[in-house]
Amino acid sequence: MVERHYDLICVGAGLVGRLTACALASAGFKVLSIDAFSFNEDTISSQDGRTTFVSLKSKEILERFGFWEALVPFSQPIQNILAYEHQTPWYLDYSSKEFTNSPMGYIVENKYVYKSLYQHERVDNLDVITGVRVSSIDVTEYKAVVKTDCGTTYSASLILGIDGRFSAIRKFAPQIIESSHQYDQKACVLHISHEKSHEATAYEVFTSNGPLAILPLIATEEYSNRSGIVWCQKNTFDFESLSDDQIAETLSNLFPHLGALKVISSKWIYPLQFLKVNQLIDKRIALIGDSGHVLHPIAGQGVNLGWRDAEKIIDLLVSQKKLGLDYGGPILLQQYDDARKFDRLSMSFMTDFLSKIYSSNLKSVKLIRNTGFALLNVLKPVKNFLVRRAMGLF
């Protein structure tokens, strides 16, 4: 069977995969994007109710590659973040005025991010195939050959695995060793309307069963005050049995400052998992985003980390192109892995640590948590470092 050759093959077309493929094609690479799922803007809107916290660094990345302008009307700036433990007096208050003249970040519904990415999918040099799975990868000295489950064959200098936590590409990379565990938690995502303004403030309350975040959303014609909810609970908790009125009552008790609440969306429920790898690279293969690291949503950093992966490998590939060098050579791959190691490992450790310490009911751990809240409000340099880290500004 005749194989078709590309410069690069991007496997996976989620929020990180689409950005990567479109940006590389715009930079002049001949790119093939493959995704196992067949979807469009309508199916995304109905199937994914999640929101993305866009850090300041991610905003810069989206601006740089031409995606941010379309997102501006749908982006809610965050001016304040208030984190606290339920039924304790301790809290941590972040304000953008303390750190920067800009917002601390933005909350955007995923459906709008996908729409912005779809608008760029028609770029020259980019071929898109959906509803197809990669069945094998054969790596030779000068290229990688991909076979799909429908019998087609493609080759490229480099395969970019951007296919998420259940990555097929990771399975074809024997030098990449994963370490993972399931959290005894799941997350319920939904949207609410509320009587009073959110004042551009995000809240995160830590309960005995897991964190609950309320994220400010832009107003719509129908609802002048909206927020997104990410509610983590033990796996044994039955979200489906809760009526909308019961959910609204629970949230009203936690966030009385918002006034009367109403659930205005479906409920989307996701299992929570942790995953890291020893390295992001193998011969002519590089992992990007959730295929190489899966984080607890406690800090909202998963997509931001993936976009930083994408920016780094795009920059390296553009440099290779200018020099006329091999896009999948070992030097480039090692440069990518080295450049991303500290960011991905430190963020993986931080989110895993926070998820465990804030889900424990041990009295000693609670004391440590409360002491930490009190100290961080006093230790401004530490507080400043953590906030800048969350913004992606290091």
Which position has the token pair 């403030």? 201
User: 297, 388, 377, 394: which is closest to 84 by C-alpha?
Assistant: 377
Residue 194 lies in a domain: no
Q: What pLDDT shows up at residue 38?
A: 79
Residue 332 lies in a domain: yes
Q: What pLDDT shows up at residue 123?
A: 85
Both tokens of 221, joined, read 């014609």
Q: Classify residue 101 by burial, with Cβ atoms within 10 Å: 0-12, 13-18, 19+.
A: exposed
* SS3 label, residue 341: helix
Q: What pLDDT shows up at residue 46?
A: 58
Which position has the token pair 């800090």? 299
Both tokens of 32, joined, read 């093939």
DSSP 99-162: H-SS-SEEEEEHHHHHHHHHHTTT-TTEEEEES--EEEEEE-SS-EEEEETTS-EEEEEEEEE-
Q: Give pLDDT tens digits along the chain (394 positions).
A: 568 999 999 999 999 999 999 999 999 999 999 999 876 666 665 567 789 999 999 999 999 999 999 999 999 999 999 888 777 766 777 787 776 678 989 999 999 999 888 888 778 899 999 999 999 999 999 999 999 999 999 999 999 999 999 999 999 999 999 999 999 999 999 999 999 999 999 999 988 778 899 999 999 999 999 999 999 999 999 999 999 999 999 999 999 999 999 999 999 999 999 999 999 999 999 999 999 999 999 888 999 999 999 999 999 999 999 999 999 999 999 999 999 999 999 999 989 988 888 777 787 777 777 777 666 666 667 667 776 677 666 6
Residue 135 lies in a domain: yes
Which residues, 6+ apart, have CB-to-CB distance to 378 below 8 Å? none
Question: Cα 358 vs. chain centroid, distance in angstroms?
Answer: 21
Residue 326 lies in a domain: yes
Q: What pLDDT shows up at residue 219?
A: 96
Residue 15 lies in a domain: yes
What is d(CA 378, CA 80) in angstroms, rounded to the nearest whole number?
18
The whole domain housing 370 covers 4-181+272-390
Q: What are phi and psi of 4, to 5 degrees?
A: -100, 135
Residue 77 lies in a domain: yes
What is d(CA 123, CA 68) in angstroms, rounded to the nearest whole number?
17
CATH code: domain of residue 301: 3.50.50.60
Q: Please count the residues of the chain.
A: 394
Total domains, the chain: 1
Q: Which H helix or E strand runs over 73? A: none
Measuring CA to CA, how many Å separate 371 from each of 91, 170, 204, 351, 368? 10, 41, 17, 19, 5
Residue 146 lies in a domain: yes
Q: What pLDDT shows up at residue 260?
A: 96
Residue 10 lies in a domain: yes
